[in-house]
């Protein structure tokens, strides 16, 4: 399997990328930034970004956090890091009524404190293992590295997370189609990051009031007569809660703290031995049979407008849930099968 992931959006090119994905029946993952490089804040209706993000979810793509301002988390104070996470959460709740479980730190840069704090906030933290470096504009290199890695490995025994950026015009205008065509020609299935890991869609987002997996939230489970603008959980989602699991922070996780004058190549994260019962795939609701999910749960539908009564989870609720071990911090390399 190949999970195409796009960082730094949304942007003016993103709707065209969504068209490409729709035309090819491909689901991807978007790590969105709240306010990056002066391109406008994602919750500002005048930018068109709220509608783009709602479209992502409505069309089955996965949305994760890439922080509010695309700052290197390893260089910030604990308070500044928390602000970067919470501001993006608030914006996404404002748009969707729920917020992501998955995130990718800008520049894939972190340190031990960053991982610990993100774990306390209930995030699954992901790197990547194919960097096309499309941001550099050398698409000859981008094609070469992508095709080389996929062709030298077997789709029957390997899965890959590929990094691109939907703020790059050429990535949208032709390179995305190249990525799709090459992967399929080599026998790979194109999936979201969650599907690549065998994580049911009901776990991809969280309730803003409780921090629980969104589809398992009792806040919305009984809201059958609510406005269609409020996302509704899957009827089978109650079996997918992972709240009983202990948090896991990888002791082997490392990140690059190199100069940010260019996008750095991340420090490889070695595979982690999770031990019996601690792998995400051992948690309730996580089950993967071959390349297919064993559940039929669906991601929440995106609202067409901001939910009028969408609550924001409080710090007290956040702390309670984090200390009870709601969710784990993961590194993607620990779950990618490379033989």
Q: Write the pLDDT tens digit of every residue in 233-247.
A: 232 222 222 222 222
d(CA 151, CA 184): 11
| Contact between residue 282 and residue 197 where contact means Cβ atoms under 8 Å apart | no
Q: Interior CA angle at 107 toward 158 and 84, to 5°?
A: 115
From the candidates 61, 70, 124, 165, give the one annotated as an active-site residue: 165
Joined tokens for residue 267: 């420090």
Question: Among positive and negative, which fits the CA dihedral 166, 181, 188, 22?
Answer: positive
Torsion of CA 171, 172, 178, 179, to 10 degrees: 70
Domain 2-334 has CATH 3.30.230.10: no
Q: Write the pLDDT tens digit of every residue in 250-277.
A: 222 333 322 222 232 332 222 222 222 2
DSSP assignment of 291-314, as one string? TEES----PPPPPSS--TT-PPPP
**Is there a catalytic annotation at residue 66?**
no
Q: Which residue has the higher pLDDT, 292 or 6?
A: 6
d(CA 105, CA 143): 25
* Token pair 């990094």: residue: 163
d(CA 53, CA 92): 9
d(CA 79, CA 161): 30
Mean pLDDT of 117-144: 93
Quick one: pLDDT at residue 165?
Answer: 96
Q: Write the pLDDT tens digit of every residue in 25-54.
A: 999 999 999 997 778 899 999 999 999 999
- Percent of residues, the chain, with pLDDT higher than 90: 58
What are 131's strand-pairing partners? Answer: 163
Q: How confident is the model at residue 211 (pLDDT cuts 50, 70, 90)?
A: confident
CA nearest neighbour of 21 among 221, 160, 254, 191: 191
**What's the mean per-residue pLDDT of the chain?**
72
Residue 130 has pLDDT above 90, yes or no: yes
Quick one: pLDDT at residue 39?
Answer: 85
| Contact between residue 69 and residue 45 where contact means Cβ atoms under 8 Å apart | no
Q: Write the pLDDT tens digit of every residue in 281-306.
A: 232 222 222 222 222 344 455 544 44
Residue 333 has pLDDT above 70, yes or no: no
31 phi/psi in degrees, rounded to 5: -95, 105
Q: Interior CA angle at 178 toward 176 and 181, to 5°?
A: 110
Q: Which residue has the higher pLDDT, 338 or 72?
A: 72
**Is there a catalytic annotation at residue 165?**
yes
Quick one: pLDDT at residue 216?
Answer: 54
- Percent of residues, the chain, with pLDDT higher than 70: 63
Quick one: pLDDT at residue 302?
Answer: 53
Residue 137 has pLDDT above 50, yes or no: yes
Quick one: pLDDT at residue 36?
Answer: 75
Joined tokens for residue 113: 């404190």
């Amino acid at each position: 399997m190949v999970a195409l992931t796009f960082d730094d959006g949304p942007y003016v090119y993103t709707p065209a990328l969504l068209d490409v994905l729709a035309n090819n029946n491909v689901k991807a993952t978007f790590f969105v930034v709240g306010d990056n490089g002066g391109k406008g804040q994602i919750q500002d209706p005048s930018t068109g970004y709220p509608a783009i993000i709602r479209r992502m979810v409505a069309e089955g793509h996965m949305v994760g956090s890439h922080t509010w301002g695309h700052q290197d988390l390893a260089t910030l104070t604990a308070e500044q890091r928390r602000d970067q996470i919470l501001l993006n959460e608030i914006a996404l709740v404002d748009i969707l009524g729920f917020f992501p479980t998955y995130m990718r730190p800008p520049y894939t840069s972190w340190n031990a404190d960053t991982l610990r704090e993100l774990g306390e906030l209930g995030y699954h933290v992901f790197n990547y293992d194919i960097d096309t470096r499309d941001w550099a504009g050398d698409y000859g290199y981008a094609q070469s590295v992508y095709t080389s890695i996929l062709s030298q490995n077997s789709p029957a025994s390997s899965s890959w997370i590929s990094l691109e950026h939907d703020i790059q015009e050429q990535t949208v205008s032709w390179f995305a189609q190249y990525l799709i065509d090459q992967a399929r020609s080599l026998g790979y299935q194109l999936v979201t990051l969650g599907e690549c890991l065998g994580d049911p869609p009901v776990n991809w987002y969280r309730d803003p009031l409780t921090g629980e997996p969104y589809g398992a939230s009792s806040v919305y489970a009984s809201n059958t007569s609510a406005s269609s603008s409020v996302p509704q959980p899957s009827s089978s989602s109650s079996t997918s809660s992972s709240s009983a699991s202990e948090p896991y922070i990888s002791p082997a996780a490392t990140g690059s703290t190199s100069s940010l004058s260019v996008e750095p190549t991340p420090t490889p994260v070695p595979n982690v031995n999770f031990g019996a019962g601690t792998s995400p795939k051992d948690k309730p609701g996580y089950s993967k049979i071959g390349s297919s999910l064993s559940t039929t749960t669906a991601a929440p539908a995106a609202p067409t407008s901001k939910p009028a009564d969408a609550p924001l989870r409080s710090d007290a609720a956040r702390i309670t849930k984090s200390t009870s071990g709601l969710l784990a911090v993961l590194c993607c390399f620990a779950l990618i099968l490379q033989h």
